[in-house]
């Protein structure tokens, strides 16, 4: 097990928090961003209990200057090293997302998902790329979902995810000559800490029936760790990859022993973008 420098954005709750724990279990230095210092400190404690070393970075991904400062702090703490960036920061307004009605009938703030999600991933990659290019290696993984290719929670959500996949494909073209890879990563439905803490009688019956198949967030961390070590990583750069399928490829099961499901057949498959057209 080799120690790597990892950064997970938006890691004070949900998928990001669990991925940080999963990556920490592999013995890595795991830096995390978040807007609340107390929450950051709590996640750092979880990272260190899981076997890693934590670096808390106070950062609001709406603020480009704050992101720049966070990367400067990270570079100072790690001598300029960054092996894996996981772009997970997102604007999540759960009740607004699932409310009935058309997009024009819901709060306009749902468009924040395009800013804190798609744009914030671009900005983080912008600051991570120079560190990785200087080292001639690294992986940038941005969290996406099946909503990139099928209707899921409406147009703002879909635009953020579809944009993430295309952004990934184009970043891969720029980064390929420098030995740096970039992927869009599709987890499945996630059994977050908050979901696990919900009383069963508050969960709709259809969701309760499906939840045994949901993934722990730690699973995504374990899969991304293995992906970063794949000798064929460069061949996967630019693609949108389904976490459950990577788990099968690498022989990784979830922390409870199950093999998470791919929803390719029911929710759609990643878009295979055409290769770049070379000029001249």
Q: What range defines the domain where residue 240 resides?
A: 5-262
157 is catalytic: yes
Residue among 9, 8, 10 at smallest CA distance from 29 = 8
Q: Are the C-beta atoms of residues 161 and 145 closer than 8 Å to each other?
A: yes
d(CA 113, CA 95): 14
Report yes or no on 267 lying in a domain. Answer: no
Strands of the 84-87 sheet, one edge to the other: 53-58, 29-34, 5-8, 84-87, 139-143, 181-186, 240-242
Per-residue pLDDT of the chain (280 residues; tens, 9 = 90+): 468 999 999 999 999 999 999 999 999 999 999 999 999 999 999 999 999 999 999 999 999 999 999 999 999 999 999 999 999 999 988 788 888 999 999 999 999 999 999 999 999 999 999 999 999 999 999 999 999 999 999 999 999 999 999 999 999 999 999 999 999 999 999 888 778 777 777 777 777 777 888 999 999 999 999 999 999 999 999 999 999 999 999 999 999 999 999 999 999 999 999 877 765 5
The pLDDT, as a whole number, for residue 278 is: 63
Report yes or no on 269 lying in a domain. Answer: no
d(CA 173, CA 116): 24
Report yes or no on 270 lying in a domain. Answer: no
Residue among 160, 191, 2 at smallest CA distance from 87 = 160
DSSP per-residue codes, 206-246: HHHHHGGGPBPHHHHHHHHHHHHH-TTHHHHTT-EEEHHHH
Among residues 151, 157, 250, 263, the one annotated as catalytic is 157
The pLDDT, as a whole number, for residue 279 is: 59
d(CA 265, CA 242): 12
Domain count, the chain: 1
Q: 228 to each of 2, 52, 58, 153, how far by Cα in Å?
A: 12, 17, 26, 30
The pLDDT, as a whole number, for residue 92 is: 83
Number of CB atoms found within 10 A of residue 239's CB: 19
- The CATH number of the domain holding residue 187 is 3.40.50.720
Q: 131 to each of 5, 78, 139, 140, 147, how far by Cα in Å?
A: 11, 11, 11, 11, 31
Report yes or no on 72 lying in a domain. Answer: yes
């Amino acid at each position: 097990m080799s120690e790597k420098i990892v950064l997970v954005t938006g890691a004070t709750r949900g998928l990001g928090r669990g991925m940080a724990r999963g990556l920490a279990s592999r013995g890595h230095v795991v830096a995390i961003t978040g807007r609340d210092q107390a929450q950051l400190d709590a996640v750092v404690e979880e990272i260190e209990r899981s076997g890693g070393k934590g670096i808390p970075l106070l950062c609001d991904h709406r603020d480009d200057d704050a992101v720049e400062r966070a990367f400067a702090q990270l570079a100072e703490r790690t001598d300029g090293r960054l092996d894996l960036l996981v772009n997970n920061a997102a604007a999540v307004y759960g009740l607004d997302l699932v409310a009935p009605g058309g997009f024009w009938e819901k709060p306009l703030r749902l468009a924040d998902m395009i800013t804190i999600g798609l744009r914030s991933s671009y900005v983080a990659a912008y600051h991570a790329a120079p560190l990785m290019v200087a080292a001639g290696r690294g992986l940038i993984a941005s969290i996406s979902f099946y909503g990139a290719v099928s209707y899921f929670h409406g147009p703002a959500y879909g635009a953020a995810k579809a944009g993430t996949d295309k952004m990934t494909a184009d970043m891969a073209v720029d980064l390929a000559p420098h030995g740096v890879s970039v992927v869009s990563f599709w987890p499945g439905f996630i059994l977050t800490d908050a979901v696990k803490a919900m009383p069963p009688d508050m969960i709709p019956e259809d969701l309760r029936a499906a939840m045994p198949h949901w993934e722990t967030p730690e699973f995504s961390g374990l899969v991304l760790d293995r992906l970063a070590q794949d000798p064929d990583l460069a061949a996967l750069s630019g693609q949108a990859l389904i976490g459950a399928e990577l788990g099968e490829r690498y022989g990784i099961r979830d922390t409870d022993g199950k093999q998470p499901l791919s929803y390719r057949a029911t929710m759609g498959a990643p878009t295979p973008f055409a290769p770049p057209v070379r000029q001249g």
